[in-house]
DNA sequence: TATATTACAATAGGATTAGTAGGAATTCAA
DNA sequence: TTGAATTCCTACTAATCCTATTGTAATATA
């Protein structure tokens, strides 16, 4: 019941870009360092996000990546689906042609449908902008804590 | 975001036993045939369920398996956790010692917490007895449909 | 122009998961 | 007591997922 690293890393990558939205281009190298993720693996992931039109790139020296749209226009669900293909907990539920022969009689299928809906309700409601806000609030909180510690 | 085959098969296996609860012993062979799952793979799965005390076995000829307790006492969540270890969508959330070093600063962790809760709310509320009921209602429904088709 | 930096691409290796295979141990029934 | 059915045990193979390696193409800057 794990979300693949692709999905998880893609979300952290997109959040990193979202936090820097409007600023300069961000390199994969910097994201990898900040997030503690393999640089080459991130390259593969960001390539997929680029193909989906979620990020724009500039090649060459001083190049890098940036978000294609405003952070508020990306939901967590969009990003996960792009990387994982579907949020269905079982392949029997994948919308495509992949319909399971047992679907008509399968009692457990209903369980998975409910799980799928529950997950989607969560991830389709959270946008990158929400997460950026969480981040900014956390930064302020940490700063206050720091100031308090040193009695300033 | 897939549930492992072990978890899915275990649920179908347990449901099969639940439907036959109170009757005679059920062999792995029969379950494998009914569910269309590899017999040898099911053996490994049911061994794990036996170790957890969820099923009882009788060896030798005329042997087989049966549920250790009443179907109402098993939730889907119990079975999945037994097979998958945890329902957390990321290992960073696994209760154990496995705490992620980034947890304190990780913004996305909150997303995964919400996903985990949403999934648990579903699977911890459904028992095998509920699924048996679904099955029985379906059988009646199918019978009515059959009778109707032949105008009896 | 030369050089360093960076995106882009393809592939190979390692780790984990999914599934297969063979057979030993146990028990019932004929 | 023999044979068949069945659980139980161990090891192997195949597939998938994650990461690392290697190299090419494009671009800014000196
Ligand atoms: S096994 Fe495919 S629908 Fe249940
Ligand atoms: S990466 Fe482990 S808590 Fe976010």
Under 8 Å between Cβ of A93 and A116: yes
Q: What is the pLDDT of residue A151?
A: 62
Cβ of A108 less than 6 Å from ligand 1: yes
> Any idea what the CATH number is for the domain that residue A116 is in?
1.10.10.10
A27 CA → D29 C1’, Å: 18
pLDDT band for position B116 (cuts 50, 70, 90): very high
Confidence band of A54 (pLDDT split at 50, 70, 90): very high
Nearest nucleotide to B56 (CA to C1') is: D7
Separation of A131 CA and D28 C1' (Å):
34
Structure tokens at A131: 């997460």
A84/B6 Cα distance (integer angstroms): 20
Instruction: List Cβ neighbours of A72 (8 Å cut-off, separation of 6 or more).
Output: A127, A128, A129
Give CA angle at B11 (B7, B15), nearest 5°: 170
Question: For strand D, which residues in window 21-80 of chain A come within 7 Å by CB?
Answer: 37-38, 40-41, 44, 58-63
d(CA B21, CA A8): 41
Mean of all residue pLDDT scores within chain B: 92
Q: Which nucleotides of C are covered by protein (CB under 7 A)?
A: 4-11, 17-22, 25-29
Residue B46 domain boundaries: 5-151
A134-143 residue pLDDT tens: 999 999 998 8
Residue B62's SS3 state is coil
pLDDT bucket at A47, cuts 50 / 70 / 90: very high
pLDDT score at A42: 93
**Residue, of B59 and B101, whose pLDDT is higher:** B59
Numbered residues of chain B with Cβ closer than 8 Å to any chain A Cβ: 1-4, 7-8, 11-12, 15, 36, 76, 80, 84, 86-91, 102, 105, 107-108, 110-112, 114-115, 118-119, 121-123, 126, 131, 134-135, 138
Q: What is each CA distance from B111 to A16, A116, B117, B123, in whole angstroms?
A: 15, 16, 10, 19
Q: Model's pTM, two decimal places?
A: 0.93
Mean local confidence (pLDDT), B107-135: 96
Pocket of ligand 2 (CB under 6 A): B 92, 100, 102-103, 106, 108-109
CB contact under 8 A, B88 and A2: yes
A89 neighbourhood in chain B, CB within 8 Å:
1-3
Residue nearest to atom 1 of ligand 2 (CA): B102
Those residues with Cβ within 8 angstroms of residue A2's Cβ, 6 or more apart along the chain or in another chain: B1, B88, B89, B90, B91
Query: Does ligand 1 lie within 6 Å of residue A103's CB atom?
Result: yes
B110, A134 Cβ separation under 8 angstroms: yes
Q: Which pLDDT belongs to residue B96?
A: 57
| B102 pLDDT more than 90 | no
Number of domains in chain B: 1
B107 contact residues in A (CB cutoff 8 A): 15, 131, 134-135, 138
A46 closest CA partner among A34, A64, A22:
A64
Range B50-86 burial, b when 16+ CB lie within 10 A, else e: eeeebbeeeeeeeebbbbbeebeebbbbbbbbbbbeb
What's the average model confidence in pLDDT over A6-28?
A: 95
**In 3D, which of B8, B64, B54, B55 has the Cα closest to residue B35?**
B8
């Amino acid at each position: 019941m794990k979300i693949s690293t692709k999905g998880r890393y893609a979300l952290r990558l997109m959040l990193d870009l979202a936090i820097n939205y409007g600023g300069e281009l961000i390199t994969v190298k910097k994201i990898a360092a900040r997030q503690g993720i393999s640089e080459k693996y991130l390259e593969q992931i960001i390539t997929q996000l680029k193909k989906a039109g979620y990020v724009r790139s500039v090649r060459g020296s001083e190049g890098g990546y940036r978000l294609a749209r405003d952070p508020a226009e990306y939901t967590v669900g969009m990003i996960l689906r792009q990387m994982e293909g579907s949020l269905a907990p079982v392949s029997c539920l994948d919308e495509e042609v992949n319909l399971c022969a047992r679907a008509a009689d399968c009692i457990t299928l209903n369980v998975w449908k409910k799980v799928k809906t529950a997950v989607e309700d969560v991830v389709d409601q959270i946008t990158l902008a929400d997460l950026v806000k969480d981040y900014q609030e956390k930064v302020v909180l940490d700063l206050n804590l720091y100031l308090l510690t040193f009695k300033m």
